[in-house]
């Protein structure tokens, strides 16, 4: 198998929005020059405790991941913010620095081709003052994570369902390996609150079994909101 490494960096655009809006977002991004993207399904977390009691707290969400050169970040984000089809869509968008991208010559086309001009572009986004907190826990623990995060100042988050990877010592049922289901909690936080939120989550799970979850933070660039008109 012949893999070729494209030694260049890029930007990962992440858009979190209401369900059934990603198709319009992809179309707007493509018009602005984006090569495409990947759509993930998730759920938002409501703050109102009465909604949680009534079982109405989960809000369906879609996430768009698009890999872009630096020169396209601002045009694509502006296209998403101003597109008429997204004018009533509530959501957030931000970029994360990507260290390097890969290209596979055997079975798939280039994911992204970046030039030196892209890397040196004057349109390179600035740091936003936000961080993305990512917490991976066993299925069913996402609400516990959010409760701990809110107690430390978090305003909300997005939950994505996932699964762990099978290992030789995983449980089996009639010879079939049972891979534990996981939940990924994504919280966008101002940098000055990140330490407090992470410590609160860590304290909440202080008695959990080792290896039952992980948490990490990533710097966020070019933060903006959908469905909000600038004055």
Per-residue pLDDT of the chain (231 residues; tens, 9 = 90+): 334 434 345 889 999 888 888 889 999 999 999 988 888 888 877 555 544 544 445 578 888 998 888 889 999 999 999 999 998 888 889 999 886 555 443 333 333 444 444 444 444 445 668 899 999 888 889 989 999 999 999 988 999 988 776 666 666 667 666 667 888 999 999 999 999 999 999 999 988 877 678 898 988 988 888 876 665
Asked if 68 contacts 74 with a C-beta cutoff of 8 angstroms, the reply is no
Burial class (CB in 10 A: 0-12, 13-18, 19+), 88: exposed
Candidates 195, 73, 204, 85; CA nearest to 146 is 204
Asked if 140 contacts 205 with a C-beta cutoff of 8 angstroms, the reply is no
Domain with CATH 3.30.70.120 in the chain: 3-129+221-226, 130-219
Q: Please tell me the distance from the alpha carbon of residue 226 to that of residue 92, in angstroms, as a whole number.
A: 6
Q: pTM (2 decimals)?
A: 0.70
Query: Domain 3-129+221-226 - what CATH class?
Result: alpha beta
Q: Which residue has the tokens 């494209």?
A: 6
Residue 76 DSSP SS3: helix
For the domain with range 130-219, which CATH number is right: 3.50.50.60, 2.70.150.10, 3.60.70.12, 3.30.70.120? 3.30.70.120
């Amino acid at each position: 198998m012949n893999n070729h490494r494209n030694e260049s960096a890029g930007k990962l655009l992440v858009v979190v929005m209401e369900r059934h809006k990603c198709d319009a977002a992809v179309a707007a991004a493509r018009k602005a020059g984006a090569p495409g993207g990947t759509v993930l399904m998730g759920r938002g977390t409501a703050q109102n405790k009465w909604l949680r009691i009534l079982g109405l707290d989960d809000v369906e969400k879609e996430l768009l991941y698009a890999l872009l050169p630096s020169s396209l970040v601002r045009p694509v984000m502006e296209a998403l913010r101003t597109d008429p089809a997204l004018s009533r869509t509530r959501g957030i968008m931000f970029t994360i620095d990507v260290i390097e991208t890969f290209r596979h010559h055997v079975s798939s086309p280039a994911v992204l081709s970046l030039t030196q001009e892209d890397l040196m572009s004057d349109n390179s986004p600035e740091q936003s003052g936000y961080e993305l907190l990512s917490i991976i826990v066993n299925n069913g623990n996402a609400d516990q994570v959010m409760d701990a995060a809110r107690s430390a100042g978090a305003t909300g988050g997005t939950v994505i369902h996932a699964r762990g990877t099978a290992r030789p010592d995983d449980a089996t049922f009639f010879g079939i390996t049972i891979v534990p289901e996981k939940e990924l909690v994504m919280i966008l936080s101002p940098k000055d609150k990140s330490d407090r939120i992470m410590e609160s989550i860590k304290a909440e799970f202080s008695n959990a079994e080792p290896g039952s979850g992980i948490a990490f933070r990533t710097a966020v660039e070019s933060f903006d909101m959908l469905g909000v008109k600038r004055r």
